[in-house]
Structure 1
Amino acid sequence: MTSSLQLDQHGRLRHLLTMDGLPRQLLTEILDRAAHLAEATSGADKKLPNLRGRTIVNLFFEASTRTRSTFEVAAKRLSADVINLQVSSSSTSKGETLLDTLKTMEAMQADLFVIRHDASGAAHFFAEHAAPGVAILNAGDGRHAHPTQGLLDLYTIRAHKGPPENLSVAIVGDVLHSRVARSDIHGLRILGCKDIRVVAPPTLIPAGIEQMGARVFHQLEPGLDGVDVVILLRLQTERMLGAFLPSLGEFHRDFGLTRERLAKLKPDAVVMHPGPINRGVEIAGELAYSERSLILEQVANGISVRMAVMDMILGDRGASK
């Protein structure tokens, strides 16, 4: 169902809702396109004409800084017109339904909606009800998926460590509430990574994660033993109802990345984080932008990856008309 919704009859991107079920060749094509666009916009003139005349709407029902900003920059670098809809001050606050909002913006001839919502499945809802020729790009829905974050993580890993087939990758922290963790696991598995680890206390491990292809560790040191990449996750306390852990201090003691723990990793192991960072919780403050950290590079890579996805959905579609 999801694959048929995301891909057209020729196997090209129609919407991007989740990494799950996408073919390996398509993921590789997106990463290759991102590398090409990064090179093409590396000079003083960063603007390309690919999406001139297209309209992209950033429709964010959840607060965001990095994701919304990088989507906006990516669309503008492709010469698209961009509308940033402030949902808290829009008609949805007056009782307008999600479907009415979508149809209203479609009537303004929007070509693509970038949607972030706190409900899992919201992006699928929009895709199922979008008019023909209108694309939906999931910028994060509940705990479900954040496919462009997964793609930019894969892009960053590939740029520094090569293809993930023979890598060991550990995802540490609040896996239970993390759509990033799910997208990373799907993407790594599709690209052939055989050693995907999730490291967290039992209360922050979702049921069935092993069926997705990950090994579970409840202690940090064995979970990080021999890994090439460490992806740290923020504790999403805003999604926690009840006692998931004793305290932030105890979490840092047991699962936080400190300088001492960093020193025990492989000398060429790298550290990543989707942001925002909780310094002194999942990572010691002085390590956030250290020589082993790729966190700021992830932000920059997000622009190229999001350009690639929008270009493949709208630019390639326009070229094929």
Structure 2
Amino acid sequence: MTLQLDSDGHLRHLLTLDGLPREILVRLLDRAGQIRDTALGRTCKRNSLVGTTICTLFFEPSTRTRSSFQIAAQRLGADIINFEASTSSARKGETALDTLRNLEAMGVRGFVVRHAEDGAAEMLATHAGEGTTVINAGDGRSAHPTQGLLDALTIRQAKGPDFSKLKVLIVGDVKHSRVARSDLHALHTLGTGEIRVCGPQSLLPDDGVLKGCVVGDDFDAMLEDADVVMMLRLQRERMEEGLVSSLDDYHRDYGLTVQRLRRAAADAVVLHPGPINRGIEITDEVADGPQSLVLRQVSNGVAIRMAVLETLLA
């Protein structure tokens, strides 16, 4: 955690929500709420990062995260560089650290990093120069802190700031989900009343991350009276690993349908970090229905990422 904070307790990097002080997390949520209109282009863009250059350093594909960081940087007046691993010197063997150092030498101050390896963002932050900021945009199975923040913001907008009253259910492949881990860290920090985690035993982690959660594999039972239902993407490679018998069986046991959703609280809301496998973890009727906040999550992503960039770099 000391790597994320400077000697005065201010945020220097954003690598994980695990252990992030509640006051910093809430401050980011508050700031995102304040600038949401600017994030969506409804008011004039801010100029707080004019003259600052930010690089999206992505070694994995991304649509929502990368695009929203790009829009967030532009709305703040920053210059943005898009690094594509497939068309860069990474294909010639250049390491991620050498790439960062070369771009630092060109005056880049902020790095938004996505990488397949656990701990990649932390490694770059450890070696980053004075005045350089690293933001983790998803590393391995470890963390996706801005997704955790935008999910918390979406829940807060729908249900209010008192998380102690809420029953939140996370469903699916939690074991391999960096999103789920960051969501769990945020929910614990915000004092959520009850956190439920549901999925087949083969897709539930055993590393202690579920401590303090109600855990089970009976989706129908876990849905009862839930206020928030967070569906996770089924990563299809899990079928190849033999962790899921078939897509049809998974949908039968863990797919969210309109009929199943009726077990939750009458005013329950549904979230999904995307990309969605329609007809597998969630049906069209639910994903596009009145209780779905999926597109609000996407729009909140720009606001949260503006708040993070401004906090770290302004």
* Structure 1 unaligned regions, length at least 5: 316-321
- Alignment check: 8 A CA contact 1:289 1:296 kept: no
Deviations 1:179-214 (A, max 9, x none): 000000000000111311110000000003465422
Counterparts of 2:22 and 2:168 in 1: how far apart (Å)?
Answer: 18
1:161 to 132, 138, 159: 159
Q: After TM superposition, which residue ranges in structure 1, 4 or more long, deviate above 2 angstroms?
A: 39-46, 208-213, 237-241
Q: Secondary structure at the residue paired with 2:35?
A: helix
Counterparts of 1:95 and 1:240 in 2: how far apart (Å)?
Answer: 32
- Alignment check: 8 A CA contact 2:195 2:214 kept: yes
Structure-2 change in CA distance of 1:72 and 1:161 (3 Å) = same
Per the alignment, residue 21 of structure 1 pairs with: 19
Per the alignment, residue 218 of structure 1 pairs with: 217
Structure-2 change in CA distance of 1:288 and 1:211 (3 Å) = closer
Structure-2 change in CA distance of 1:294 and 1:117 (3 Å) = same
1:104 aligned partner, one-letter code: N
Counterparts of 1:4 and 1:104 in 2: how far apart (Å)?
Answer: 25
Counterparts of 1:25 and 1:97 in 2: how far apart (Å)?
Answer: 36
Matched, 1:177 2:176: yes
Structure-2 change in CA distance of 1:292 and 1:74 (3 Å) = same
| TM-score, structure 2 normalization | 0.97
1:38 deviation in Å? 1.0
| 1:236-247 correspondence to structure 2 within 5 Å | 236-238=235-237, 242-247=241-246
Q: Secondary structure at the residue paired with 1:165?
A: helix
1:64 aligned partner, one-letter code: S
- Alignment check: 8 A CA contact 2:59 2:85 kept: yes
Counterparts of 2:184 and 2:86 in 1: how far apart (Å)?
Answer: 32
Per the alignment, residue 122 of structure 1 pairs with: 120
How many residues are treated as equivalent by the alignment? 313
CA RMSD of aligned residues (A): 1.3
Deviations 1:30-66 (A, max 9, x none): 0001011114456644411011100000011000000
Matched, 1:302 2:301: yes
Per the alignment, residue 319 of structure 1 pairs with: none
2:6 to 5, 8, 27: 8
Per the alignment, residue 92 of structure 1 pairs with: 90
Identity, in percent, stands at 54
Counterparts of 1:262 and 1:211 in 2: how far apart (Å)?
Answer: 24
Structure-2 change in CA distance of 1:16 and 1:166 (3 Å) = same
| 1:183-222 correspondence to structure 2 within 5 Å | 183-209=182-208, 212-222=211-221
| TM-score, structure 1 normalization | 0.95
Q: Secondary structure at the residue paired with 1:59?
A: strand
Structure-2 change in CA distance of 1:5 and 1:102 (3 Å) = same
Q: Secondary structure at the residue paired with 1:128?
A: helix
